[in-house]
A and B are shown apart, each in its own frame.
Chain A
Amino acid sequence: MSAIKPANPLEMVAYVLSRQIQDHMIVYVGTGLPMVAAILARKTHAPNITLVYESGGQDPIPGDMPWSVGDPFTWRKSPIIQEMAYSFAQSYNGYVDIAFLGFAQIDMYGNINTHMIGDDFLKPKARLTGSGGNNDLSSLTERMILVGLQSPEKFVKKVDFITSVGHLKGGNSRQEAGLLGQGPVAVVTNAGVYDFEPAGKRMRVKSLHAGVSFELAQLATGFELLKPEGDIPVTEAPSVEVLEILRNEVDPRGVFISFPPK
């Protein structure tokens, strides 16, 4: 029996996200779990990645967990700090390999909402943050990974506001709308990992975390999930070594990986 507690759902998300990063990639990083994942990747299988942040910092030397994407840790002894317009232009010009985005709502095509909940934009049930860099990265970046907790309120038939386009209406509608990159290539949640079926671009189960059945994942989803061919794989869980790095070195105070969340 292992002496270490198995990964909690947030640690699982951070680990799966980190596995999307390959060594030597340029990674555009947002606040929260994406930061945790990028730092974990750098401390494990991808030590030579370059991190880029929207307040302009890039390639900082390692330090503590940033409090914000404007934190000094995002530009700690950076050789160059870019203006905001230039920072996003790096993604347009092909100098970003992968980016991670969070959401309040997501639909079956990976379109996401961080604007508002409700059906009246001028008098919403709840107004949320708005885009920030979310739309910019989803419009421009070659490979997008979407990350969030899974529930029927978040995984909806129709998002209340399209902040950022994923695969729009499926097929090649993203490309026809003039957007760049492959769009979302994966969705990572506390229940599983999803990709998008190549022709129609609808969300499809890629793997489910240990203990999660397809029926359970479907129950947590407000639209019909596609099944992969054959048996659904179980998501690979982090090794004891990786969990120890995550808990002791990446987020030792559990700011982002405590469960339930702090």
Chain B
Amino acid sequence: MYNYNREALANLRIDDTSVLDRLVDFASARKAHLEKDHSKRDKRMTLTEAIKQFVQDGDICTDAGFAYVRTPHQAYFEIIRQGRKNLQFIGSPNTNHSYMINFGVCRYSHNSYVGAEMRGTDRNYSRNLKEGKVTILSEWSHGSMAQGFKAAQLGFPSVFSKQLLGSDIVRYNPYVQVMQNPGRKDNDPVVFIPALYPDVTIIHVHAADRFGNARVYGPTVNDAALAAAARKVIITAEEIVPEIDMRYNNKGVIIPFMYVDAVVEMPFGAVPGNMPGLYYWSRQWWEKFLRFATLSDENLNEFMQYWVFDCKDQFDFVDKLGGSKWIASARRLTRTAEYDNEDIGFDYSYDEYRPGHNSGIYY
């Protein structure tokens, strides 16, 4: 029953709007939340079980954290290994769905940003789009999409935004409408942004208890809102702590247990991204992804074979990054960057990835 922006539907050549409906279907999200088992119970399970049970073909899945900061990369890799199909991806940023398109895991984009800033453009996404392997369902800016998630968390049907006005983004987003601010008599255009309800969000955290209360340190980005909005929530956590720890150390607890369906103990769950306080991102991995893997389908397949299909879990992955030497270096880097370690005399420099270069450790 959603009143889609007709111009955007035409521009995106979307005839059947049923593919769009669930993202803005408040009634079904509320029903899903009501029908969840509300009991405060032990929700621990393995990553394999959590993905099997809570990520279904066709789901609207989120990219959480900030592209490569506290992002559940290892859970994404398990989704790829399990061979889910036709997922929609949404997130601000939405960097990580690109490498899932090649395997049919992701079929649809709700776009805000794809890429890794100054490290290079993502030619894999561009190529897949041209070949029709991915379909864009909506275009956003980071902030306007964040407002849609925030509206859901706040319990609002929508927000009126001053973002997107006058841009082509509103002409390629079927969910939003330019309107006159109903509270004013003078000309005051605003953009109607609906509350957004993804099917499933996976959030990587520093600590969770067995019920799902979850604590993070560092940027939270959109994750508190995503957890409130999504129909299903999987927490992957660096460590599982006793519940009493959440009560005494509640600073940084952004997710209450009732939202959560699965709790997975997952040290190094954000590798190869940055986990604040624990490990810096592997800069060379991301450079190799953008400067080698995205250049062709063959390169991407070779890259993903090595890093995803030939790894059964995050420990295999960390071994390939350089094992305990990589861990020590990544910990020192992030602790020094955050100024929890002495930085006088510390050298942040490293060799950027270049073809053929192999130091054995992905700094």
Q: Which residues of A contact B (CB under 8 A)?
A: 31-32, 54-57, 61, 63-64, 67-73, 75-77, 81, 83-85, 88, 92, 115, 121-124, 126-136, 139-140, 161-165, 168, 173-174, 176-180, 253, 255-256, 262
Contacts and interface: CB of A to CB of B under 8 A. Distances in A.
Contacts, number: 186
Interface stretch (B27-35, B122-130, B238-246, B318-326): B122-130
| Interface of A (DSSP majority class) | loop
A164 B126 CA distance: 20
A132 B68 contact: no
A178 B169 contact: no
Contact of A162 (B150, B168, B224, B339): B168
B338 A77 contact: yes
B68 A180 contact: no
A89 B44 CA distance: 37
Contacts of B334: 72
A169 to B, nearest CB: 9
Given A55-B66, A72-B337, A135 B118 contact: no
Contacts of B339: 61, 63, 76-77
A70 B274 contact: yes
B162 A54 contact: no
Contacts of A31: 117-118
Interface of B: 11-13, 66-69, 92-93, 111-118, 121-122, 125-126, 129-130, 132, 136, 139-144, 146-147, 149-150, 162-169, 172, 187-190, 218-222, 224-225, 274, 276, 280-281, 283, 334, 337-339, 343, 348-349, 352
8 A-B pairs closest in CB distance: A178-B189, A136-B143, A88-B143, A135-B141, A177-B166, A72-B337, A132-B113, A127-B126
13 contacts: A72-B218, A83-B221, A84-B142, A85-B147, A115-B168, A122-B12, A122-B13, A122-B136, A129-B114, A130-B113, A136-B163, A161-B168, A177-B165
A164 B143 contact: no
A130 B165 contact: no
